[in-house]
């Protein structure tokens, strides 16, 4: 039994925080883990900015609803789901991803979540588990699945390497070079063909 584990941001949709920073006109929200490696501090910084601007979850979801999946992502995902089981493993939050999942035909998404007050204020982020991508891939393997993974970034390498096949997709030159044993693709057709070949 196969299951394909796909990263979300950079593979199927744009980087959500960067797209949100542009869509909302709040450039401070472009800050990423490259600028602040401590994820909890980065999230506290982001949530403080949203609070200062009076932005609660409904306003954020409304802005995110204007962001589209990457061109061709929906067709790729639909074609892949006809062939095998697919799960999206992401470090984003269910509540943010929701408008994008609607545009992707509601695929299965395993990610993190937010604690939200009745008035919509985001109180804090709740991480599902440690090293969520690798932990989830291992869990799927423990119940009889062979995993095939694809992602674009550092946090995808562990799940890419843990399965029977793994691919980099639209990654950086530096990551591709440092992981030259991992096949790297830039087009959905190539990735679909590679995954299909590995099934
Ligand atoms: Mg990514």
Sign of the dihedral through C-alpha 180, 177, 198, 186: negative
pTM: 0.92
Alpha carbon of 9 to ligand 1 centroid (Å): 4
Per the domain annotation, does 51 fall within a domain?
no
Number of folded domains that form the chain:
1
**Ligand 1 centroid to 92 CA: how many Å?**
10
Give the residue from 91, 121, 109 showing the smallest Cα distance to 17: 91
7 is catalytic: yes
61 is a domain residue: no
**102 within a domain of the structure (yes/no):** yes
Q: How far does the centroid of ligand 1 lie from the alpha carbon of residue 119, in Å?
A: 31
| Residue 33 located in a structural domain | no
In a domain, 156, yes or no: yes
pLDDT tens-place string over residues 98-124: 999 999 999 999 999 999 999 999 999
- Of these residues, 7, 91, 95, 152, which one is catalytic? 7
* Calpha distance 108→136 (Å, rounded): 13
- How far is Cα 44 from Cα 79, in angstroms, rounded to an integer? 38
The answer as to whether 64 is a domain residue is no
CATH number at residue 88: 3.40.50.1000
Q: Which domain holds residue 148?
A: 2-13+69-112+128-198
Question: Does residue 45 fall inside a structural domain?
Answer: no
**Ligand 1 centre from 198 Cα, in Å?**
21
| pLDDT in 10s for each residue of the chain, 199 residues | 999 999 999 999 999 999 999 999 999 999 887 788 888 899 999 999 999 999 999 999 999 999 999 999 999 999 999 999 999 999 999 999 999 999 999 999 999 999 999 999 999 999 999 899 999 999 999 999 999 999 999 889 999 999 999 999 999 999 999 999 999 999 999 999 999 999 9
Burial 103-115 (b: 16+ CB within 10 A, else e): ebeebebbbbebe
Please give the distance, rounded to the nearest whole angstrom, from the Cα atom of residue 118 to the centre of ligand 1.
31
The yes-or-no answer on residue 119 being catalytic is no
Is 26 inside a domain boundary?
Answer: no
Q: Mind listing the pLDDT tens digit for each residue in 161-192?
A: 999 999 999 999 999 999 999 999 999 999 99
């Amino acid at each position: 039994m196969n299951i394909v584990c796909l990263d979300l941001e950079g593979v199927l949709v744009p980087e959500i925080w960067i797209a949100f920073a542009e869509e909302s006109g709040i450039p401070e929200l472009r800050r990423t883990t490259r600028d602040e490696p401590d994820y909890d501090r980065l999230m506290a910084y982001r949530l403080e900015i949203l609070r200062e601007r009076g932005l609660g979850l409904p306003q954020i979801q409304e802005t995110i609803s204007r962001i589209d999946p990457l061109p061709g992502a929906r067709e790729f995902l639909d074609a892949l789901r006809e062939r095998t089981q697919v799960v999206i493993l992401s470090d984003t939050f269910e509540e943010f991803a929701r408008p994008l999942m609607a545009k992707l035909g509601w695929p299965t998404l395993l990610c993190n979540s937010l604690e939200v007050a009745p008035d919509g204020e985001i109180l804090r982020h709740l991480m599902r588990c440690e090293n969520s991508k690798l932990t989830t891939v291992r869990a799927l393997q423990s119940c009889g699945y062979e995993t095939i993974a694809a992602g674009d970034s550092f946090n995808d390498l562990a799940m890419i390497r843990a399965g029977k096949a793994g691919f980099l997709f639209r990654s950086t030159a530096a990551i591709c070079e440092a992981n030259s044993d991992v096949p790297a693709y830039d087009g959905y057709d190539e990735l679909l063909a590679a995954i299909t070949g590995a099934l």
